[in-house]
Amino acid sequence: MSEQAGYKQHLSGQIREDWAREIDIFETQLELRQQGKIEEKLFAETRLRRGVYGQRYDNGQRHDGVTNRTLAFPQRASKGPGTLWDAPGMMRIKIPFGKITADQLDVMAELAEEYSDAILHVTTRQDIQLHFVHIEDTPDLMRRLAAVGITTREACGNSVRNVTACPYAGTCHTESFDVTPYANAITFFLLGHDDTQDFGRKFKVAFSGCKSEPCGLTNFHDIGAIAVTRQVDGETQRGFELYVGGGLGSVPQAAKLLDDFVPEAELLPLSQAICRVFGRLGEKDNRSRARLKFLVKKLGIDEFRDLVQQERKALRPDPRWTAFLDDLSVTDERPLLPAAPLGEVPTDPAFAAWQRSNVRRQAQAGYAVASITLPLGDLTSDQARGVSELARRFTGDTLRATVDQNLLFRWVPEAALPELYRGLEALGLGEPGSGTISDVTACPGTDTCKLGISSSRGLAGELRRRLEVIDGELGAAARDLHVKCSGCFNACGQHHVADIGFLGVSRTVSGRRVPHFQLVVGGQWTENAAAFGLAIGAIPSKNVPLVTERLAKRYAQERNASETFRAFVERVGKKQVRAMLEDLIEVPPYDVDPSFYSDWGDPREYTISDIGVGECAGEVVPFAQMGLAASEREVFEAQLLLEQGQSPAALERAYRAMLSAARALTREKNPNLGEDADEVVREFKQRLVEPRLFWDQYAGSKFSHFLFRWHDHDRGDAGPDDARQAIEEAQLFVDAAHECYARLAS
């Protein structure tokens, strides 16, 4: 295990008890996997649900430009199918609605330089990712995050991913109301919820404060919630226009309207009902058709809505549905400094350029939101520490990560903007251009992603350099275009909703592979990404910058007054757009220009042989199976406790193991089953033991009585003999539970 296991002791008492326990459990699971006591796929999903993701080359194979080579990692247990234990991976850190405190940023800076490569990467879903992390470092990494209020639980895998929201929420001119407390409530309500554990694929939720702006991107989320209000009897009621079944990927689909007004008190239960329908009816076998969008399409929105409403009625009431409404100010940010207008504008042209592109006035007079332009979403640990200091000086502590891979300071007095700018400039973060054509968004692509086909980051870096150079020639409209690059059809770079988007593809020319990008034009970023772009054709990777420049210049020169790029493309026509690029589609022969046969930023001759099996889909492991695995792990922990001489704790853990297994099984029969031990035992008896489902051919109901007896027993005063007996019985009970589950599943 990690040499730094000391963080468990070092941070003792500084981590929420339940989170500390979860991380301890994960550490135990690492040990069990090393001992071969957890099955490979189950462990893979387990670690994914803790945010521990695979990374390119983790199958131990890499093409060096000449031939495929084996990376000789020490031979140990795998951490998933085709995923070597010692191969470095990616750690995804969930940042709900992108809100980061200065202390959190400091800790992430430390983690990046101690466990990663001193780079923090902001993703297109407001997460932070660290790359090249060893799995054995992850429990301590999680503890350090947990100590500052961050959990990585369900950052990956078939779960509810990071809940995103407009980063301007609470400061925006166009919002109906601040969606932050609602995004916060749904984050922690759905986190680890029983009804989100049986998904066939990931599930994404986004919030927007208004319909007109792009910031929430609700149109391509599984649940997209747009804040709306209505007047009833002279009172303003808050609610949400709720959309479902949107998604990008290889088959982009616009979200469908489920309900034009979901009252705020219904947001959580209705979302729970949606999750339950998805868990029950969503595809589990065919991973490429397992997202909610396929279920909504298959059923039709009307039938889907009916099912959700039926499910809603069947839900067991939960006080958490509305408890958060008692204090919606819990997520409010308060300014550190008093509001003050900018006054005399500094004459520094660099400041003026930065102010023009990176500063937006808040709804609150005298305050502004200032954006940090992060190249490719990256910042160093040193920069992160500098940014956290600026947050402490100017904003009262917080920042927001954005879906276009930048960071925002909010609540900056306008008068303080010049000083903030100087601070950023000193950190090398004073670049203007946030949200403009040169602020290119990119997923990790072939740099680190197992699925990457082309180098989206290499391309984005090149585009950024070139577009900055021609920025002055473009005029305001073209300067505001959005360019986004994805390394493959999975669309993590969100290319479908860019004005000019690219997705990595490969073509073969005279027997050699050539990196290409499919050009997609005319996506609509505004109105929460209201429309997807049109595919024009595959462009050799090395010509993509020329294509982008040409499109931007033609738009600048030929657009009609106030014509958007999408309207321009529609007016000109797809055929004509392709015609204007025809000369850039050709690939020169290898002996004329071999540079076309390598990708941006990678001198190796291009190949697609490094593509591995992605983990975006996770492994489908049913709730019951996860529960049974948890009970096995608890039996193991009970044994350790007994060895340490902690008999009462060992007995309690063995009893809990039986209870976990019983609950996992019983929930197959009663999805509303709670966590109260009396209820679990009663329901288990009624639904599984009495109908002879939890039943052994020879022993009858014997194993169930182990649970019943210890449930009724005074467990507080156990000696070693009691504990030993309970552990042995728990092991038999868990084995019987597996048999029972196999019968139920068949």
Partner 1 sequence: MPTRKIQVKLYFVASERPPLERFVPVLHTILRDDALGELMIDVVDYGHVHHGPGVVLIGHATDYGIDLGEGRPGVLVFRKREPVTGDRIADALGRALRFAALLARVPELGSALRTDEVLIRLPDRLHAPSTDAGFERLTAELSALGQRLYDAPVALERASSPRQPLSVRWRAPSSPTVEELLARLP
**Window of 58-66, 167-175, 616-624, 642-650 that interacts with partner 1 by CB under 8 A:** 58-66
Q: Is residue 392 close enough to count as binding partner 1 by CB under 8 A?
A: no
Ramachandran angles phi, psi of 327, nearest 5°:
-145, 85
**Window of 59-67, 162-170, 199-207, 337-345 that interacts with partner 1 by CB under 8 A:** 59-67
Q: Is residue 608 close enough to count as binding partner 1 by CB under 8 A?
A: no
Q: Is residue 603 close enough to count as binding partner 1 by CB under 8 A?
A: yes
**What Rg value do the Cα atoms of the chain yield, rounded?**
27
Q: Is residue 117 close enough to count as binding partner 1 by CB under 8 A?
A: yes
Beta carbon of residue 73, minimum distance to partner 1 (angstroms, whole number): 6
**Window of 83-91, 161-169, 299-307, 542-550 that interacts with partner 1 by CB under 8 A:** 83-91
Nearer to partner 1, 455 or 660 (CB): 455
Q: Which of 24, 40, 86, 259 is in the footprint of partner 1 by CB under 8 A?
A: 86
Q: Are 390 and 424 in contact (CB under 8 A)?
A: yes
Q: Are 445 and 606 in contact (CB under 8 A)?
A: no
Q: Is residue 62 close enough to count as binding partner 1 by CB under 8 A?
A: yes
Nearer to partner 1, 225 or 460 (CB): 460
- Closest alpha carbon to 238 in 213, 275, 212, 267: 267
Q: Is residue 611 close enough to count as binding partner 1 by CB under 8 A?
A: no
Cα separations (Å) of 359 from 232, 308, 392?
37, 42, 19
DSSP SS3 for 585: coil
DSSP SS3 for 314: helix
Sign of the dihedral through C-alpha 631, 633, 635, 638: negative
Q: Which of 379, 503, 628, 659 is in the footprint of partner 1 by CB under 8 A?
A: 379
Q: Is residue 399 close enough to count as binding partner 1 by CB under 8 A?
A: no
Beta carbon of residue 535, minimum distance to partner 1 (angstroms, whole number): 28
Rounded to whole angstroms, how far apart are CA atoms 356 and 593?
41
Q: Is residue 13 close enough to count as binding partner 1 by CB under 8 A?
A: no
Q: Is residue 188 close enough to count as binding partner 1 by CB under 8 A?
A: no
Q: Which residue in this structure is represented by tokens 């002879």?
A: 692
Nearer to partner 1, 134 or 553 (CB): 134
Q: Is residue 626 close enough to count as binding partner 1 by CB under 8 A?
A: no
Q: Is residue 606 close enough to count as binding partner 1 by CB under 8 A?
A: no
Q: Which of 31, 40, 110, 696 is in the footprint of partner 1 by CB under 8 A?
A: 110
Q: Cα–chain-centroid distance for residue 131?
A: 15
Q: Which of 149, 300, 341, 428 is in the footprint of partner 1 by CB under 8 A?
A: 428
CB atoms within 10 A of CB 465: 13
- Closest alpha carbon to 127 in 107, 104, 155: 155
Q: Is residue 72 close enough to count as binding partner 1 by CB under 8 A?
A: yes
- Cross-strand partners of 507: 514
Q: Is residue 383 close enough to count as binding partner 1 by CB under 8 A?
A: yes
Nearer to partner 1, 105 or 185 (CB): 105
- Cross-strand partners of 540: 516
Q: Which of 26, 43, 53, 57 is in the footprint of partner 1 by CB under 8 A?
A: 57
Helix axes 292-299, 301-314, angle to 10 degrees: 110
Beta carbon of residue 152, minimum distance to partner 1 (angstroms, whole number): 19
Helix or strand (DSSP H, E) at 437: none
Binding residues for partner 1 restricted to 437-456, rule: CB under 8 A: 447-448
Beta carbon of residue 603, minimum distance to partner 1 (angstroms, whole number): 4
Nearer to partner 1, 168 or 597 (CB): 597
Q: Is residue 64 close enough to count as binding partner 1 by CB under 8 A?
A: yes
Q: Are 383 and 102 in contact (CB under 8 A)?
A: no
The HSE-up count of residue 649 (CA atoms within 13 Å, CB side) is 10
- Counting residues that bind partner 1 (by CB under 8 A) gives 49
Draw the binding track, 229-248, toward partner 1 (x: CB under 8 A; -: no contact).
--------------------
Q: Which of 139, 375, 452, 540 is in the footprint of partner 1 by CB under 8 A?
A: 375
- Closest alpha carbon to 388 in 424, 418, 357: 424
Ramachandran angles phi, psi of 604, nearest 5°:
-65, 145
Nearer to partner 1, 123 or 704 (CB): 123
Q: Is residue 18 close enough to count as binding partner 1 by CB under 8 A?
A: no
Across 67-215, the runs of DSSP E, i.e. the strands, are: 68-70, 78-80, 83-84, 89-93, 99-101, 119-122, 128-133, 164-165, 205-208
Binding residues for partner 1 restricted to 450-509, rule: CB under 8 A: 458, 461, 464
Q: Are 156 and 94 in contact (CB under 8 A)?
A: no
Sign of the dihedral through C-alpha 157, 316, 324, 223: positive
Nearer to partner 1, 104 or 647 (CB): 104
Kind of pairing, strands 500-509 and 483-486? Answer: parallel
Draw the binding track, 643-682, toward partner 1 (x: CB under 8 A; -: no contact).
----------------------------------------
The one-character DSSP state at 685 is: I
**Window of 153-161, 349-357, 422-430, 489-497 that interacts with partner 1 by CB under 8 A:** 422-430
Q: Are 260 and 241 in contact (CB under 8 A)?
A: yes
User: Given phi > 0 = left and psi -120 to 50 = alpha, else beta, which region is 590?
Assistant: alpha
Q: What share of the chain is helix, strand, coil (3-state, %, to 5)?
A: 45, 20, 35
Q: Which of 190, 427, 551, 737 is in the footprint of partner 1 by CB under 8 A?
A: 427
Binding residues for partner 1 restricted to 685-714, rule: CB under 8 A: none
Q: Is residue 593 close enough to count as binding partner 1 by CB under 8 A?
A: no
- Closest alpha carbon to 565 in 662, 480, 471, 679: 480
Which stretches of the chain bind partner 1, using CB under 8 A? 3-4, 6-7, 10, 56-57, 62, 64-66, 69, 71-74, 86-88, 106, 110, 113-114, 117-119, 131-132, 134, 375-376, 378-380, 382-383, 385, 427-429, 447-448, 458, 461, 464, 601-604
